[in-house]
Amino acid sequence: GRLDEATIALEAAVKGRPTNAAAWNLLGISYADTGRTQAAIEAFTKAVELDPASKAADNLRRLQGM
């Protein structure tokens, strides 16, 4: 479906621009939405490492609180 296509596109985006914290955050959201919790945690963690002020920090806390 479209969510799978989005995930594939985001995976390509972070591969091409691995320092793009926003792309890592979006990838984390996509993983979370498809039930890939561990992958989401890893993507959010990478986003926070790149940009500690990223919204990924909130997303990571929410996901870990589940």
- Does the predicted model carry a pTM greater than 0.95? no
Query: Are 37 and 55 spatial neighbours (Cβ–Cβ below 8 Å)?
Result: no
- The structure tokens 């955050």 sit at 25
Per-residue model confidence as pLDDT tens digits over 2-41: 888 999 999 999 999 999 999 999 999 999 999 999 999 9
Per-residue model confidence as pLDDT tens digits over 36-65: 999 999 999 999 999 999 999 999 999 988
Angle at 66 between CA 62 and CA 22, to 5 degrees: 30
Spell out a b/e string for 12-37, using b for 16 or more CB atoms within 10 Å of the CB, else e: ebbeeeeebbbbbbbbbbbbbeeeee
